[in-house]
Structure 1
């Protein structure tokens, strides 16, 4: 019987700045350009649907894209990325990390083209298809490029490459709302996606000709179709509940039924993957404590994007600020995360991953706490928000490189793509689920408030927005709990020294 043990392909190629720039540009196509859709959604609706039929109520008689459909278009990209990123990472291990990275950039171009041409009667299908393809693009690019970093860089060189990769992802997300707002205002929202096409093409040119990196299989390997199908059904059911639960009704049979499907599906998935000879989510990787701590805390800290979304809506709905003015307050988030990511790299080199990950998470927790006094006057709260957003970026900057390097360093070479896919799946699903829960809490309590918050905080200024202010506090408490659990997971799983990836101890 032929052996089925995978063997890493050998190469003498070493990573260089040309390849690294191509990798970073590929990562940016999702985090910076595709990620700006949430900011420009109102501009998209106004341009495609035309003038309001009822300007006072801001509604259209026959919209080509409804607000609910636009919300789906915003969220579907992260959803598709999260669902398929592990599959794409596994494919990258088998058929080539460079090939999958190039495929991801090609999909990015296709998705952006569909969005650019979204107009008239086909506006909605082209918009949804384009956003879904952008999600598939991210699912290909993120694990494949991380695996290339793992393969072609070592030691301090890899840590620098991880920092650059993190600037593309975390830094891109920090600039997305600002870029989207200003490009949509001065040039039109379609130019965001035209620029994305150009950036993807540059990424392809820079990565073209890179020696292939893949795992040589000594025998046939079956595709884990049952595991994939169960995973997709479970995650789709969960996200429908989180995103549309308030519309459908939290107690409706449909919502409860979907919730049961999600829970049963996740339980069944664990059983299937444990018994599968070739699981698409390799649960054996979680035997390594450091990889587990990095992945779990990555999921939870990415979920704190809900903090940003809730407070941005609070500033607009309760404070009456313009979207552009509220978005400008997040400038410190983008500046600190880009400026201090290399500091996180230096902290990793000096202290190892554990302490910087804890410090970064703790700073994120302080940011959440600073946003909780929603009882203040708008002028006072704006200053709290400016400081909190900057600290949010600083905390993520300290956390990003140590966490990513800890995950990569503890992956076996033949599992680099699959493991990177799991780590980045935690990012995408953490963002999607954290944002959905935070917004669901904020929306559900926005019309009724939370009296126990009023018993603690005495509101100043207007009284017609108290319910929204109290709802925001409850949503922020949820985000703070995620930070606490993230710190606990790091302390329990990430040792002070480095692990030997071959032992999993």
Structure 2
């Protein structure tokens, strides 16, 4: 009994585990919101009278603000204190969740989602940098494996929780659920987590860097989000990408000259950090496209409801939950390289497997590929994170975690956009072959429907429905083949750039402190 009480009380020996628990609480809330909202969109539409564009921006507003501000959130934690920025992020996330739950119209809902993304951008890199600072290198794989497992658990049960609350309570309950979780995360953080920051820099903010990075990433991510709807060759998309190139070039020029840059490019001197970041981009590129378009296949081709489709993803995510902590422990023993190479190869095989789907293969054919994908992603996520964070000095943990998380978010947006472009292009070609007598304008409208899996039964003649389904499946197969090849290339990247040695202290590449005159603390 005494031993149990001692284990539950805060001591220097177990403080880091209490800290990990606090970060996992917050991470669970954050990742749950990535998937829990999707299944509530029809109820939101009915309750608020939202149109399709408003529903899209209910998702996109959160994604955009999160992706754009991740690096800023990580760097602010380095400068002003990671615990302080984390607590601020949790508070913003909780308050915006309450505001969304009370939103009387879709405009305030979208504004609330954008603010929620700001809170998430403060939280996500802070959870990773706080865990990195709390654990010594030889235990970091185990800790980050737990961190990855909690993330997978939240993603797995998100559609189920969202479906249950929407059907039996209200879509607003999805957002009110964040309030007690946020309160628990704040209490545990105040109880257990010590403050840490980058002592090599002064407490000054690189405003020019923030502005140019924000403009550049906004143009880039917004371009990916809207490219298939506005057209890749449209003036607006070309303008967004041109703006992104100019702003990001200006950002690099500014960062190389200021005394306290938002991104210390010294972290990229490590081949391991560069390799781990590249693997993170590649695995996210394929993973989100699989989740998004396979869900469309199950709902529009196989006829499952959103909740039924979400439940059928559970075998993959349950495997991922088990593999995450296991891969973390293995990383501490054998290093990240063999796990990353093996994991990316398995991800590639799973995606190539799915490229052979037809309208008749069904879920039984999908299930083994889901299990393989869960194994592959589980072998990649925590070793990739551990490799990246062990490759930089602890003082740079905030900016390193921000860069890593940003790369994954941009990779996700890029993957969905490219896959959508493949569906539109290949699908249009297939429709021209299967419906030669249909007017061009009608075929174009049918091609636009492919982004949602094709037209539904009853909305058009059976011949047209079958043609759009066949076009979607053909394009889906092409996209999966490309994703599979990209994943296998990711295995080559890991093999080339990731060190084969055990982690980790020898792998750290300290970034020298700049020679600064003493600066006053920010008010």
TM range (shorter): 0.7 to 0.9
Q: Give how far 1:80 is off.
A: 1.3
Give unmatched runs, 5+ long, in structure 1: 1-11, 50-64, 454-460
**CA offset digits 1:86-116 (Å, max 9, x no partner):** 1111111121111111111111111211210
Distance 1:250 1:219 in 2: 42
Question: Who is 2:442 aligned against?
Answer: none
2:388 to 407, 411, 415: 407
Q: Give how far 1:451 is off.
A: 8.3
TM-score, structure 2 length as denominator?
A: 0.83
**CA offset digits 1:425-481 (Å, max 9, x no partner):** 12222222222332343245445438899xxxxxxx955521111121232234224
Distance 1:144 1:503 in 2: 20
Question: Who is 2:124 aligned against?
Answer: 142
Distance 1:197 1:217 in 2: 33
Question: Who is 1:70 aligned against?
Answer: 55
1:234 to 185, 207, 216: 216
Question: Who is 1:362 aligned against?
Answer: 345
2:72 to 87, 90, 102: 87
**CA offset digits 1:128-159 (Å, max 9, x no partner):** 12211221122111211211111111245433
Question: Who is 2:282 aligned against?
Answer: 300
Q: Give the secondary structure class of the aligned counterpart of 2:507.
A: coil
Distance 2:14 2:76 in 1: 22
1:432 aligns with 2:413: yes
Question: Who is 2:507 aligned against?
Answer: 500
Task: Point out the more displaced range, 220-229 or 22-31.
Answer: 220-229
Distance 1:417 1:399 in 2: 21
Change (3 A) 1:502 1:356: same
Task: Point out the more displaced range, 273-282 or 357-366.
Answer: 273-282
1:103 aligns with 2:88: yes
Distance 1:160 1:290 in 2: 19
2:103 to 106, 112, 118: 118
Q: Report if aligned partners of 1:106, 1:200 keep a CA contact under 8 Å in 2.
A: yes
Change (3 A) 1:267 1:295: same
Distance 1:183 1:326 in 2: 16
**CA offset digits 1:178-226 (Å, max 9, x no partner):** 3222332233222221111111111111111445323364774542222
Q: Report if aligned partners of 2:19, 2:131 keep a CA contact under 8 Å in 1.
A: no
TM-score, structure 1 length as denominator?
A: 0.86
Q: Give how far 1:14 is off.
A: 6.1
Q: Give how far 1:172 is off.
A: 1.7
1:423 to 404, 407, 412: 404
Question: Who is 2:328 aligned against?
Answer: 345
Q: Give the secondary structure class of the aligned counterpart of 1:281.
A: coil
Map 1:112-261 onto structure 2 (within 5 A).
112-119=97-104, 123-210=105-192, 212-215=194-197, 217=199, 220-261=202-243
2:363 to 382, 390, 399: 382
Distance 2:388 2:328 in 1: 14
Q: Report if aligned partners of 1:79, 1:428 keep a CA contact under 8 Å in 2.
A: no
Question: Who is 1:441 aligned against?
Answer: 422
Q: Report if aligned partners of 1:242, 1:436 keep a CA contact under 8 Å in 2.
A: yes
Distance 1:143 1:397 in 2: 20
Question: Who is 1:467 aligned against?
Answer: 471
Distance 2:136 2:16 in 1: 12
Task: Point out the more displaced range, 350-359 or 152-161.
Answer: 152-161
Q: How many residues align?
A: 467
Q: Give how far 1:376 is off.
A: 4.8
Question: Who is 2:45 aligned against?
Answer: 45
Change (3 A) 1:266 1:492: farther
**CA offset digits 1:288-333 (Å, max 9, x no partner):** 1111111111111112211111121122233333222222220112
Q: Report if aligned partners of 1:115, 1:193 keep a CA contact under 8 Å in 2.
A: yes
Question: Who is 1:456 aligned against?
Answer: none
Q: Report if aligned partners of 1:438, 1:478 keep a CA contact under 8 Å in 2.
A: no
Q: Give how far 1:117 is off.
A: 0.9
**CA offset digits 1:328-356 (Å, max 9, x no partner):** 22011221111221221232133210010
Distance 1:452 1:411 in 2: 54
Give unmatched runs, 5+ long, in structure 2: 1-11, 435-464, 512-523
Q: Give how far 1:34 is off.
A: 4.3
**CA offset digits 1:344-381 (Å, max 9, x no partner):** 1232133210010111111111221121113351xx23
Alpha carbon RMSD of aligned pairs, Å? 2.6
Change (3 A) 1:452 1:276: farther
Q: Give the secondary structure class of the aligned counterpart of 2:302.
A: coil
Q: Report if aligned partners of 2:79, 2:204 keep a CA contact under 8 Å in 1.
A: no
Change (3 A) 1:72 1:17: same
1:393 aligns with 2:400: no
1:26 aligns with 2:7: no
Q: Report if aligned partners of 1:78, 1:429 keep a CA contact under 8 Å in 2.
A: no
